[in-house]
Amino acid sequence: EVQLVESGGNLVQPGGSLRLSCAASGFTFSSYGMNWVRQAPGKGLEWVSYITTSSSTIYYADSVKGRFTISRDNAKNSLYLQMNSLRDEDTAVYYCARDSGRYYAADYWGQGTLVTVSS
């Protein structure tokens, strides 16, 4: 069974940093691109970042470019999101999601981890 489990969400002050993790199981992690997607309270989905299987290609949303860094460790079946210079507007549930390999659609999602940026 495919499972994605996020962790690392917390309350952090503006300007602070946080590192999110996503532990993958039930599939060959190294064979799939991965995404981070977030959802602010009461709002819609916002794609954050994407990383290819070998980390050779990475994309970021303009809203996080230069502040967030996506990475992966295929040996540990894990995906990460390093978030620096956090702002109030980064408050959201952060989901990791697997790229199905078909039109880059995300076929499996974690349950999400809440990041709250507030003083």
Partner 1 sequence: DIQMTQSPSSLSASVGDRVTITCRASQSIRNYLNWYQQKPGKAPKLLIYGASNLQSGVPSRFSGSGSGTDFTLIISSLQPEDFATYYCQQSYESFTFGPGTKVDIK
In the complex, which residues of this chain contact partner 1 (CB under 8 A)? 35, 37, 44-47, 50, 59, 61-62, 95, 97, 100, 102-107, 109-112
H/E element, 58: strand 58-60
Q: What are phi and psi of 60, to 5 degrees?
A: -135, 150
Choose among 112, 117, 118: nearest CA to 48: 112
Cβ proximity to partner 1: between 88 and 107 the closer is 107
Q: Are 98 and 4 in contact (CB under 8 A)?
A: yes
Q: Minimum CB separation from partner 1 for residue 6, in Å?
A: 10
Burial of 113 (0-12, 13-18, 19+ CB in 10 A): buried
Residue 27: CB atoms within 10 A of its CB come to 15
Q: How far is the CB of 113 from partner 1 (least distance, A)?
A: 11
In the complex, minimum distance from the CB of residue 76 to partner 1, in angstroms, rounded to a whole number: 22
User: With respect to partner 1, which residue has the nearer C-beta, 16 or 21?
Assistant: 21
Q: Which is nearer to partner 1, 16 or 27 (CB)?
A: 27
User: Min. distance of Cβ 75 from partner 1 in angstroms?
Assistant: 26
Scanning the structure block, which residue is given the tokens 């697997």? 98
Nearer to partner 1, 37 or 79 (CB): 37
